Amino acid sequence: MRTGLPKQTRKGLDSLFLLTGWQIWKARNDKVFNNNDATPMTIVESIKAEVKLWMAAGAKALGSLVSRE
């Protein structure tokens, strides 16, 4: 489905997909190893915070997908 999208959008979606999976994985590990439960909203907030960090580090394609609130 993503083949019809512009290259910049595909790159941004790829970054967002990886970042989201990474945050879910970290939340899962925190639950398994530290018995800390994360709510879905907590995970969403951690994804938003990580997006801001990636954008500050120069992830221009990712920055084109999200608003700068």
pLDDT band at 1 (very low <50, low <70, confident <90, very high): confident
Q: Is the distance from CB of 45 to CB of 26 less than 8 angstroms?
A: no
Q: Which residue stretches of the chain are H helix?
A: 7-34, 40-56, 60-63
Whether the pLDDT of residue 69 is over 80: the answer is no
pLDDT of residue 27: 97
> For 12-64, what is each residue's pLDDT tens digit?
999 999 999 999 999 999 999 999 999 999 999 999 999 999 999 998 899 88
Find where tokens 């879910």 sit: 24
Rounded-to-integer distance, Cα 43 and Cα 37, Å: 10
User: What pTM, to 2 d.p., does this model score?
Assistant: 0.84
Q: What percent of the chain has pLDDT over 90?
A: 78
